[in-house]
Amino acid sequence: MENVRTIARRDMESATIHSSLPPSLPSSLPSQQEKDDQTKLVEKLTAENKELKDKVLYTLAEMENVRTIARRDMESAKQFALQSFAKQLLDVADNLTRALDSVPQDKEEGGGEGGLLKTLVEGVEMTDTQLQKVLVANKIVKFGKPGDKFDPHLHDALFEYEEAGREGGSVGQVLKTGYTLNGRVIRPAQVGTVKTSS
Write down the domain spans for the chain: 79-194
* 79-194 has CATH 2.60.40.650 classification: no
pLDDT at residue 30, rounded to an integer: 74
pLDDT at residue 130, rounded to an integer: 94
pLDDT tens for each residue of the chain, 198 residues long = 456 667 667 766 665 555 555 555 555 677 888 888 899 999 999 999 999 999 999 999 999 999 999 999 998 888 777 788 888 889 899 999 888 888 877 765 555 565 788 888 899 999 999 999 999 998 899 999 998 999 999 999 999 998 888 888 899 999 999 999 988 999 999 999 998 876
Q: Is the dihedral of CA 173, 175, 181, 185 positive or negative?
A: negative
pLDDT at residue 55, rounded to an integer: 95
pLDDT at residue 72, rounded to an integer: 92
Closest CA to 189 of 156, 165, 162, 163: 156
By the 8 A CB rule, do 138 and 82 touch?
A: yes
How many angstroms from the chain centroid is the CA of residue 67? 11
pLDDT at residue 79, rounded to an integer: 75
By the 8 A CB rule, do 43 and 36 touch?
A: no
**22 to each of 15, 18, 29, 172, 179, how far by Cα in Å?**
13, 9, 18, 102, 89
Give the span between the Cα atoms of 60 and 125, in whole angstroms: 58
Angle at 58 between CA 53 and CA 63, to 5 degrees: 125
Q: What is the pTM of this model?
A: 0.59
- Pair type for strands 184-187 and 178-181: antiparallel
